[in-house]
Amino acid sequence: MERTWKTLAKEAKARMKNGFWHECEKKLDNERTYAKEQGINEGKMELYFRQKVETEIRGEAPDEFYLKVKELLMSEGEVSDAIGRLMDKEYYEGLSYSEKQRYTLELSEKYLQALERFKREYEFELKGRA
């Protein structure tokens, strides 16, 4: 469903009426306090917080691949065969040699992005919080 300017404006008005921004300000203040106490870079924390709020406003669905990576990292940490574990083996078997290489490279890049995201989230959310 494509969101029109009219629906975007209605959503923004509803956020204002429901105190969304007031709650965000309170959460941000709490996160700043926590960051100071833990010695976490406040600028990085604020950037992460802003990205999190933007994602919430856009109403994006959870990234299924990221959730798989997160589950793997939480249960076993970084493992040497992560790409193999995350690979769709049935799909992979149907590819030509060059397509397999491309798929593996794309999966590796996607994994590295998810790993970086996990590390940011771990620093700001998971470590002794949530």
pLDDT tens per residue, range 108-124: 999 999 999 898 887 77
Cα atoms in the 13 Å half-sphere on the side-chain side of 70? 14
**Residue 3: what are its φ and ψ, rounded to 5°?**
-90, 125
pLDDT of residue 52: 80
User: Torsion angle, CA of 33/121/63/28, rounded to 10 degrees?
Assistant: 10
16 residue type, one letter: M
Which of 120, 122, 119, 124 is closest to 30 using CA atoms?
Answer: 124
pTM score, whole prediction: 0.60
User: What are the tens digits of pLDDT across the range 9-36?
Assistant: 888 898 889 998 999 899 888 888 888 8
Domain positions in the chain are 1-60, 61-130
